[in-house]
Amino acid sequence: MIRRLSFTAAGVVVVIILVVAFVGLFMLRKPGQLAGPPTTIHLETVGAVGTANEWPRPNDPHPDWVGYLPTTILRVPANSTINVQIDQEDSATGLRNPFWGKVFGTEGGTMHMTYFDDKGNPQEGDMTSIDPTQAAHTFAIPDLGVFVPLLGVNSAAPAGSTNVITFSFKTRGPGIYHWQCFVPCGAKTVFGNGGPMQTLGYMGGELIVS
Amino acid sequence: MSTFRIEAADRPHAIRLAIIWVVLSVLGIIAVLQIQYPPYDQTVQGQDQSRTLALLTAIATPVFIGVVILIVYSAIYFRRSSPELVDGPPMKGNTPVQVVWISVSAIIVLFLAFVGITTLATNSSAQTVPGQSSSLAGGTAGNAGSEMQVQVIAQQWYFTYRYADYGGVETTHLYLPVDRPVELHVTSLDIIHSFWAYQLGVKADANPGVDNVFHVTPQKTGSFQVRCAELCGLWHGQMSDAEGQVVSQSDFDTWIAQQQQDYAAIQKVVPSYAPYYFPVPLTKGS
């Protein structure tokens, strides 16, 4: 009887340890921080993180999810100008709120973009807005007033093409600012706002200003 | 079984309790009326809510104090001293006492209900200004005194605002002119949110396909905070904006003119102003 009770108690303890470890490891798991010069952010947006051109994550738990790569936890200095380059490889999904097709909060209120036109020819220029229906994603830091739409790669562009978007913005004081995508790009989820839109490490993250 | 009544031996207790209750109630009411109740007085509606809260608290104070001093007094003077368990004498009540406490309770509750409903009704009604219309499409831009239409659009995870009276211009912050009644039309582009402008005294559900109407009349300039009060996903806790402003009419005119100028770049692709929007398509990229 005592032996049976001991086995039962030991089993319960093991199960509790496993459950606590599972929950704990899940809660503590965070993407790594971006390495590189502190005033430059270089990101890649892709339709599937498992098959990215620059920073593929084939072993990701969700290799077919859209995402920002190589990480969504960004560390930058306070009260500084941050130069951002986003290599945008995904096709257009379209904005739910077309208002976000406009650039807000960047230096000069513009972004610079190299992209492909409807005939597949490379183009380049400074822009203050894009066609909201052609947006693939947005890079938005609401608390800093930064909202930048990212044009989807034109279907006429050569395979494997990338739109390169560059812009600069200024940070304020130290703090953790969340950033996110405003395009409902979570494929196969209700309203497109599930999956990668609701999971840290894909379509949103933290800008750690220190 | 005897009728409940205060025995002669207990009268000193009753008198003592009554005196303590009156003194503490008066002191308590004076104290609670010194408190500034949220959401304070940045808007007429907020001030109404603060006053109502103060009134409700003042009325509740004697009741609260009465209950507490009865418990404390009983615990001190009537606690069981011997270890034996003895039941008290059975009583069947006292009609006059019952009539009094039921009547007093009913009057207090009905009065509080009347005050609460009146405040709600006043807050929900349009702020009419003589000689001005307040229809959604018929607002007149820049007319101080008319009820200004502002649409609050919630989306994961930010609020934007459209000013129907100014060509449907959409903005990232909520600016309101002081002393001008505002009709807020709260809606959502995706899921259920809740627009909570604490200092304005407004907390309104933001549902897709629904035009939820609230009224505010700012009466003090200054900043206010907007946040979402409905758990709405990963960044719900970040869905806030501390840059809401109540400004003078002239400052508002300057600000809205700048917004219209900035908005021109995107205006042609933004849909016309509508009372509400539906999230389409239901599933993207499938």
Give the CATH number, domain containing residue B179: 2.60.40.420
B35, part of any domain: yes
Pick B234's closest partner by Cβ from A97, A129, A204. A204
Is the domain of B24 the same as that of B111?
A: yes
For residue A33, pLDDT over 50 is answered with yes
- B273, B164 contact by CB (below 8 A): yes
Could you list the beta-strand ranges (E) of B156-216. 158-163, 169-171, 175-177, 182-188, 193-197, 202-206, 212-216
Task: Work out the angle at residue B191's Cα, subtended by the Cα atoms of residues B283 and B227, and round it to the nearest 5 degrees.
Answer: 145
Residues on chain B bordering chain A, Cβ-to-Cβ distance under 8 angstroms: 153, 155-158, 160, 170, 172, 189-191, 233-235, 238, 241, 262-263, 265-266, 269-271, 279, 282-286
B143, part of any domain: no
For residue B278, pLDDT over 70 is answered with no
For residue B146, pLDDT over 90 is answered with no
Is the domain of A22 the same as that of A89?
A: no
Question: Which run of H or E residues covers position A141?
Answer: strand A135-141
For residue B163, pLDDT over 90 is answered with yes
Is the domain of B116 the same as that of B72?
A: yes
Is the domain of A169 the same as that of A156?
A: yes
Q: H-type helices in chain A, by residue range?
A: 2-28
**CA separation, residue B245 to residues A1, B12, B40, B48 (Å):** 72, 60, 16, 20
Is the domain of A24 the same as that of A53?
A: no
B129, part of any domain: no
CB contact under 8 A, B286 and A97: no
Q: How many CB pairs under 8 A join A and B?
A: 86
Task: Choose between A28 and B201: higher pLDDT.
Answer: B201
Could you give the number of structural domains in chain A? 2
Q: What is the mean pLDDT of residues B235-258?
A: 94
For residue B136, pLDDT over 70 is answered with no
Q: Look at residues B167, B179, B143 and name the one whose alpha carbon lies nearest to residue B253.
A: B143
Task: Using an 8 Å CB-CB cutoff, list chain B residues near A142.
Answer: 157-158, 238, 241
Q: What is the pLDDT of residue B265?
A: 76
- Containing structural domain, residue A23: 1-30
Is the domain of B261 the same as that of B153?
A: yes
Rounded Cα distance between B48 and B119, Å, is 7
Could you give the number of structural domains in chain B? 2
Q: How far is B149 from chain A (nearest CA, A)?
A: 19
Q: How many CB atoms lie within 10 A of CB A16?
A: 10
B130, part of any domain: no
pLDDT tens-digit readout, A166-189: 999 999 888 999 999 999 888 888
pLDDT tens-digit readout, B58-86: 999 999 999 999 999 998 888 877 777 77
B132, part of any domain: no
Q: What phi and psi, each to the nearest 5 degrees, are found at residue B176?
A: -130, 140
Is the domain of A36 the same as that of A47?
A: yes
Q: How far is A16 from chain B (nearest CA, A)?
A: 28
What number is the ipTM of this complex? 0.79
Three-state secondary structure call for residue A116? strand
Of the residues A90, A91, A97, A137, the best mutation for testing chain B's interface (the one with the most B CB atoms within 10 Å of its CB) is A97
B62, part of any domain: yes
Pick A188's closest partner by Cβ from B158, B190, B283. B283
pLDDT confidence bin for B139, thresholds 50/70/90: very low
- Containing structural domain, residue B20: 8-79+94-124
